[in-house]
Structure 1
Amino acid sequence: MAEQDCMVEISTDRARIDHAYCYDVIANSYWGGGRTRGEFDKSVEMSVPVGAYCDGKQVGFARVVSDLIALAYVADVFVDPDYRRRGIAAKMIDALHAHPDLARVKRWLLATHDMQPLYRAHGYEDLDDLMMMRVDEEAKSRKPLR
């Protein structure tokens, strides 16, 4: 099956994250260089991660750092170049927004140099040339976590 024909699966199962693959991509990115593998592993452990998979192979990743109530920070979003322009990043962002542990989060932040159109389509607004924020006014009406 060609890469373009595979069915993409989005999963928030942290056990499925291919740490070696994700670390390699992020360590070579403009935003994540300088991290050690141990630091990357710890960042995933302390976050809500999401992965994109094509025939079981990881092709995308994103994570959210959050207190699960007031604030969430979207980080380390990437899609393998061979799988871009298929809406995978958008599906990962949707999965994070819909994650039950993040249902009560009102303010979502992120930093990006080049993907503003993607995030604007998901309700984020520019704060400056780098930072964006999404305010989920419905968060307070959702069932409390505890």
Structure 2
Amino acid sequence: MIEISTDRTRIDLPYCYAFIAASYWSGGRTRGEFDRSVEMSFPVGAYCDGKQVGFARVVSDQIAIAYVADVFVDPGYRRRGIAAKMLDALHTHPELQRVKRWMLATHDMQPLYRQHGYEDLSDLMMMRVDEDAQKRGPLR
């Protein structure tokens, strides 16, 4: 059974960094830079039997814009809807309910993101507009 959690204390930073450091999008990020990026974001993890098997994070001002980054699922756990569940957890995160524009960059996962309301802006960039965001109550 897969569990999705936004509890940042559960994130297995060494595991996530090892995966991301080997990815095409990491850009040579150091471990310290990765740790800082998680600290400054809204992370979500996917877990199976207590072991982390997926990760994603959002960088946001919590009002106008959110940027989805570093989404991955361990190869042994793909095709189970885990990435979709992590996106759902981020889209419904209580501190991100007022965000109208959600952006991301991907070379290869456009079909997944289109299922969640993202539209192509270019070959690389995608955006999701939440028209109801401003109707929700303010954060403060």
The bucket for the TM-score relative to the shorter chain is over 0.9
- In structure 1, stretches of 5+ residues that fail to align are 1-6
Are 1:123 and 2:109 counterparts? no
C-alpha distance in 1, partners of 2:24/2:96?
27
Are 1:68 and 2:77 counterparts? no
Residue 50 of structure 1 aligns with an amino acid whose one-letter code is: V
Residue 15 of structure 1 aligns with an amino acid whose one-letter code is: T
C-alpha distance in 2, partners of 1:120/1:33?
25
Alpha-carbon RMSD: 0.4
1:79-129, Cα deviation, whole Å (9 max, x unpaired): 000000000000000000000000000000000000000000000000000
**What's the TM-score, normalizing by structure 2?**
0.99
Matched position secondary structure for 1:69: coil
Residue 132 of structure 1 aligns with an amino acid whose one-letter code is: M
Corresponding residue of 1:85: 79
C-alpha distance in 1, partners of 2:125/2:27?
19
Q: 2:39 aligns with which of 41, 45, 51?
A: 45
Are 1:132 and 2:135 counterparts? no
Q: 8 Å contact 1:78–1:89 — kept in the other structure?
A: yes
Percent identity of equivalent pairs:
83
1:23-73, Cα deviation, whole Å (9 max, x unpaired): 000000000140000000000000000000000000000000000000000
Corresponding residue of 2:135: 141
- In structure 2, stretches of 5+ residues that fail to align are none
Decide which moves more: 26-35 or 106-115.
26-35
**What's the TM-score, normalizing by structure 1?**
0.95
Runs of 4+ in 1 over 2 A off after TM superposition: none
Are 1:55 and 2:49 counterparts? yes
